[in-house]
Amino acid sequence: MKEKVLYFYAVAALLLPNVGLCFTEGMGLWACVANLVFPLGLAVCLLTVFRNPGKSVWMVFPFVFLAAFQLVLLYLFGQGIISVDMFLNVVTSNSDEIRELLDNLVPAVGSVFVIYLPLLVAAVWAWHGRHTLTVLFLRRARQVGGVLVVAGTLCVEVAVRREGYCVSEQLYPVNVCYNLGLALQRGYQQLHYVEATAGYRFEARSEHPADSTEVYVLVIGETARAHNFALYGYRRDTNPRLSRQESLVAFSRVTTQSNTTHRSVPMLLTAATATDYNRLYHEKGILAAFREAGFHTVFLSNQRRNHSIIDFLGMQADEWVFLKEQKDAADTDRSDEGLVDALDSVLAQGRTKEFVVLHTYGSHFNYRERYSREWAFFTPDDRAEAVAENRSCLLNAYDNTLRFTDHLLHRIISLLQARGGLSAMLYTSDHGENIFDDDGSLFLHAGQKASRYELHVPLLVWTSDSYNELFPSEVQALQANRERQVESSVSTFHTLLQLGGVHTPVRADSLSLASGSFEERPRSYVNDRNEALPIDVEL
């Protein structure tokens, strides 16, 4: 009797994601039936491979893990299957990020443990105790499973014809396994990126005077959404310093082309976009272009290396530093202040032409870990558990991260002003964030369907007095384009090349915000299968 209970427990546990997805994905009747009957038949059959149900449960452990993973994502995002991006996020996120996230997902993770941990423990007990199902039970289960598989297949056929059902996108766990295969393919491309781009050149040269002193800085924010910037009308004063900064242009209608770091940052650093994302795997990035043009280039990151393309793009610089790898293991400081200190050291070297990229930790969850207590301007900010009831505290902490970012950007501008000469800074974020907005349904980012809070990002450009005097047409263009529709993933690369006077056949001034010939494009984002899709959300 206990063996049968374990068997049916396992069948139910494997089918839970299918039940949830029927409610969250807006599928038609036949699609829902197909999404239940076919996987049920497979589960019924697979769990009869061994007479010992414990062995069968551990044989299907990968599907148990995927089921638990899927339920956590449904809790976080309210919809969507485990995407290619999510698989890549798992292997490219550092241990600190994972620990911080899991520490504050008690309801979701706890529920999953309550469901699946007893199943695995019971399976070990049954395996160790040599408990077996009867031959008659197994025979009947296989017969029922076979009928369900056939019936499910017929339902899939009907759903395909009547409702446009797509197995690789809608049939769980087939769709998740398909995404896993794509993730492995992308991982292979990333691991061989250096080899694939070894001979690539931009044929870049500087258009500016050879004796001019120039410094250009790209600051890549993390998880900063435009909705919470006072510069864009947010009700809280999250930009007390930048709101008074002269020669600062804030672009108000900016969207990112991905709501994940491992996609958006490479697009910021290269000419790749949503419409031609795969060129990313065959071309070098902006650091290499400036280096070819005679600039000394530096990549400073407050994130750990994870063998992603972001790392490889950063290491195309003359110098690269991953600050977290220099810290003592006991040091819990996660502030981005160290990046500005490192920039100060770089500028102190007094080189004539300098290009620096700062990759921040910004506003990444857990928000209150991104700043010291002295920067806790909005309070209370001490409740970090990821539940809608804590939204007020979470929002306070998030807004504190933006005030701290405001301070850091002001410091960077001050350093450039003190240095003198031609200089410019461009700041934008990789993507935004959900903080239980719109009836409290979504939290964090990287869901399969991006929200407006994830897509609408800040983009700021500051230029020095010397730059304004010598290149008035670029400065005028920045002002003229400030309210136009902009895609940060498209324009950052070309804008920086034009600001820095770097000429290369790859540069397209129609995509540069510093150009009078800038052209608006239909907004799009790249999904987890490298397909460009139109953005249909209002900012």
Q: Please name the residue that has the structure tokens 């800085």.
A: 217
Q: Where in the chain is the domain with CATH 3.40.720.10?
A: 213-534
Quick one: residue 202, left, alpha or beta (phi over 0 = left, psi -120 to 50 = alpha)? alpha
How far apart, in whole angstroms, are the C-alpha atoms of residue 94 and residue 332? 14
- Residue 104 tokens, joined: 């504050």
Euclidean distance between the first and final Cα of the chain, in Å?
57
Q: What is the DSSP string of 282-324?
A: TS--HHHHHHHTT-EEEEEESS---SSHHHHHHTTSSEEEEHH
**Under a CB-based contact definition with an 8 Å cutoff, are residues 346 and 295 in contact?**
no
Question: Could you tell me which of 400, 323, 406, 408 has the C-alpha nearest to residue 367?
Answer: 400
CA distances from 206 to 289, 292, 355, 423 (A): 10, 9, 13, 15
- Residue 493 three-state SS: helix
What is the reported pLDDT for 329? 40
What is the reported pLDDT for 441? 76
Mean pLDDT by 10 residues, the chain (539 residues): 91 96 93 96 96 96 95 82 81 62 65 91 92 94 97 96 92 94 89 94 96 96 98 98 98 96 95 96 97 98 89 97 72 79 97 97 94 95 89 97 98 97 97 89 82 96 98 98 97 98 98 98 90 85
**Under a CB-based contact definition with an 8 Å cutoff, are residues 74 and 24 in contact?**
yes
Options 3.40.50.720, 3.40.720.10, 3.40.50.300, 3.20.20.70; CATH of 213-534: 3.40.720.10
What single-letter amino acid sits at 422? L
pTM comes to 0.86
Q: Which H or E element spans position 216? A: strand 214-221
Q: Which H or E element spans position 354? A: strand 353-359
